[in-house]
């Protein structure tokens, strides 16, 4: 069972470089999310996609863009990386229309911006 798959797992960037984090889920979920995790800050929502073709800003969207490529895939792009974007990024998916729908998480992508 693959669940939610994120790539890459590790990445080091220099300030100003760009990169895309990829996420794919095989559970046929409608909703997908990108969170970042920083020490003492918990998980903060960057962007989410309630369904294919829609995306919305979360709590900390500045410096990021997203693309919901199809129902399975939701990518996160850093156009010009900054040291403040050093973090662990988690993709998650969830079935909507179900009151108790839980989030299923990928294993994370650890990004360091020098």
The site for other proteins (CB under 8 A) is made up of 4, 31, 33, 35, 40-45, 48, 50, 58, 90, 92, 96-103, 105-108
CB of 87 to other proteins, least distance (A): 14
Residue 75: CB atoms within 10 Å: 18
CB of 22 to other proteins, least distance (A): 15
Tokens of residue 20, six digits: 């895309």
Sign of CA dihedral 44, 50, 53, 56: negative
Q: How many residues does the chain have?
A: 114
Is 14 or 53 the residue whose CB approaches other proteins more closely? 53
Is 44 or 71 the residue whose CB approaches other proteins more closely? 44
Is 89 or 113 the residue whose CB approaches other proteins more closely? 89
Q: Are 108 and 3 in contact (CB under 8 A)?
A: no
């Amino acid at each position: 069972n693959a669940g939610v798959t994120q790539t890459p797992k590790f990445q080091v960037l220099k300030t100003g470089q760009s990169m895309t984090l990829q996420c794919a889920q095989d559970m046929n979920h409608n909703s997908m999310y990108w969170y970042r995790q920083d020490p003492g800050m918990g998980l903060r929502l960057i962007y989410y996609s309630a369904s294919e073709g829609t995306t919305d800003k979360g709590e900390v969207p500045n410096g990021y863009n997203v693309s919901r490529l199809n129902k399975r895939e939701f990518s996160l792009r850093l156009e010009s990386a900054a040291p403040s974007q050093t973090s662990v990024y988690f993709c998650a998916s969830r079935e909507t229309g179900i009151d108790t729908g839980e989030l299923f998480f990928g294993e994370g992508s650890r990004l360091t911006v020098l």
